[in-house]
Amino acid sequence: MLDRQLERSFPDISAIRDPNIRELCHAQWRYVSAHGDPSHTDIEKLPIHPSLPVARYGALASHVRGQMEISKVLVPFAKREWKVELDLDHFLACALVHDSAKVIEFVGKDGELVATPGFDHAAEGAKIALTVGFPKEVAHMIAVHTYLGPRRLPRTAAAQLFQFLDPICLPVFPEGGKGAVERHLEANGWSVPPAPPAVA
Ligand SMILES: [Fe+2]
Ligand SMILES: [Fe+2]
């Protein structure tokens, strides 16, 4: 069901040149729709996390649109300035499916959406990607997209750049409490170092 909403929510899907890769994006969303919580019927209502209300932080779809838009700038930039060849199809597809396992992770409980404890949506998303037939390069990008320091080391330029693209497209800023960097440190059990003395 959610897979039928991809074209409407993500017009940049038409920029994926390989029709097979485009079809695999649909296949991955079909898979999570079939295996996920049936309460997820509208892709624009799926949050980035149950603790981040859509009204304030935007939907997961907005996070994905940001990654697709920046990828369209980043990939030609890397080629022009660094002579680094990245596959735009892989970036766009990875953006589209990297968080799709959240459809399985986020479940309705007592009328509220909650995250399943211990569910690793990056690892699950990568497993599903391989199951539906994505190339292993894309599965690796998905597997390491969440920054977990030494536990999730990217092995390719594409995976490294996509890992940084993930928090860029997260509108969680220090002005509103804990910013994305602080949240990542906490999620990894790393203490936040004391701030350096203020400069007068
Ligand atoms: Fe994620
Ligand atoms: Fe993400």
- pTM score: 0.93
CA of 172 to the centre of ligand 2 (A): 13
CA of 63 to the centre of ligand 2 (A): 7
pLDDT at 189: 80
pLDDT at 185: 83
CA of 199 to the centre of ligand 1 (A): 36
CA of 142 to the centre of ligand 2 (A): 9
CA of 97 to the centre of ligand 2 (A): 9
CA of 198 to the centre of ligand 1 (A): 34
pLDDT at 192: 66
Q: In 83-179, which ranges are continuous DSSP H helix?
A: 88-97, 102-105, 121-132, 136-143, 157-168
Q: Indicate the SS3 state at residue 26.
A: helix
112 forms beta bridges with 109
- Domains of the chain as residue ranges with CATH: 2-187 (1.10.3210)
C-beta separation of 86 from 74 below 8 A: yes
CA of 141 to the centre of ligand 1 (A): 11
Up-side HSE of residue 200: CA atoms within 13 Å toward CB? Answer: 0
Ligand closest to CA 94: 2
CA of 78 to the centre of ligand 1 (A): 23
pLDDT at 200: 67
pLDDT, tens digit only, all 200 positions of the chain: 788 899 999 999 999 999 999 999 999 999 999 999 999 999 999 999 999 999 999 999 999 999 999 999 999 999 999 999 999 999 999 999 999 999 999 999 998 999 999 999 999 999 999 999 999 999 999 999 997 777 789 999 999 999 999 999 999 999 989 998 888 888 778 876 777 888 76
CA of 121 to the centre of ligand 1 (A): 7
Ligand closest to CA 167: 2
CA of 63 to the centre of ligand 1 (A): 10
Nearest Cα neighbor of 122 from 150, 96, 141 is 141
Ligand closest to CA 65: 2
Rounded Cα distance, 140 and 150, in Å? 15
CA of 82 to the centre of ligand 2 (A): 25
CA of 97 to the centre of ligand 1 (A): 10
Give the model confidence (pLDDT) of 129-186 as tens digits.
999 999 999 999 999 999 777 778 999 999 999 999 999 999 999 998 999 888 888 8
pLDDT at 111: 87
**CA-to-CA separations, 53 to 8, 59, 102, 176, in angstroms, rounded:** 22, 8, 15, 13
